[in-house]
């Protein structure tokens, strides 16, 4: 299977990419650092393609997608690249920080879909998974910007599910609570008591591989 994953530099994106490669699947991933792209390409070998692209940049995403698709069709597209705000009441969040979340977490997802979905539709198969969050279905104080973007991902994905022809599928996914840099931003040292990304990926990747048309438009959560 050929898998595209955004945001493979760290956290869940990196853990998923490691696990997909371990299981023998070909991956294409995005990062924003050229040296890191070279490092990951060497780590994952010939079945990987690591592109230097900021998902906020529609033109850069278009070039990356063309490169990935020139090597073959994509079976699974996973939008996992995201950022979170420094915890603060909404009125204390700076405009630039709010803009960064919206551009990465919402526009970035739309940009990637814009340039990969047509090829999947033309081929007549494929699954698009957009990472949401528990905070895309509920709320907490001090993360209003993040909640807003993940609620948006839920709505965007459910609408996309109505637009995709069968047998394609779009699924909003809550990955669960995992000890990542993003969780540490909110939970501090308490984040270390949660599951590690590599352990999570051993459950998440088989779950992702089983998603299909029957899951189209159904909010999902990686099972424990």
Alpha carbon distance 37, 187 (integer Å): 29
DSSP-derived letter for residue 6 is E
Catalytic position from the list 131, 135, 146, 151: 146
Instruction: Give the C-alpha separation, 202 to 43, whole Å.
Output: 18
Structure tokens at 207: 């779950």
Active site residue 146: yes
Closest CA relative to residue 9, chosen from 61, 50, 64, 60: 50
Task: Calculate the alpha carbon distances from 89 to 124, 147, 185, 209 in Å.
Answer: 45, 12, 15, 38
117: helix, strand or coil: helix
Sheet of strand 169-174, all strands in order from the earlier edge strand to the far edge: 48-52, 26-31, 2-6, 76-79, 127-131, 169-174, 220-221
**Which residues carry out catalysis?**
146
């Amino acid at each position: 299977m050929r898998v595209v994953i955004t945001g493979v530099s760290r956290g869940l994106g990196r853990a998923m990419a490691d696990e997909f490669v371990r299981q023998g699947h070909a991956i294409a991933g995005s990062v924003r650092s050229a040296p890191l792209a070279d490092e990951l390409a060497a780590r994952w070998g010939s079945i990987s393609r690591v592109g230097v692209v900021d998902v906020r940049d529609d033109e850069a995403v278009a070039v990356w997608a063309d490169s990935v698709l020139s090597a073959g069709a994509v079976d699974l597209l996973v939008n996992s690249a995201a950022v979170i705000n420094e915890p603060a009441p909404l009125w204390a969040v700076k405009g630039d920080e709010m803009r960064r979340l919206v551009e990465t977490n919402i526009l970035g997802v739309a940009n990637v879909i814009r340039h990969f979905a047509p090829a999947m539709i033309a081929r007549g198969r494929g699954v698009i998974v957009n990472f949401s969050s528990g905070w895309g279905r509920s709320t907490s104080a001090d993360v209003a910007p993040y909640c807003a973007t993940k609620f948006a991902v839920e709505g965007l994905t459910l609408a996309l599910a109505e637009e995709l022809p069968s047998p394609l599928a779009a699924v909003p996914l809550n990955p669960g609570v995992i000890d990542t840099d993003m969780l540490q931003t909110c939970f501090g040292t308490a984040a270390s008591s949660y599951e590690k990304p590599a352990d999570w990926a051993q459950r998440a990747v088989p779950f992702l591989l089983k998603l299909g048309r029957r899951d189209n438009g159904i909010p999902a959560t990686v099972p424990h």
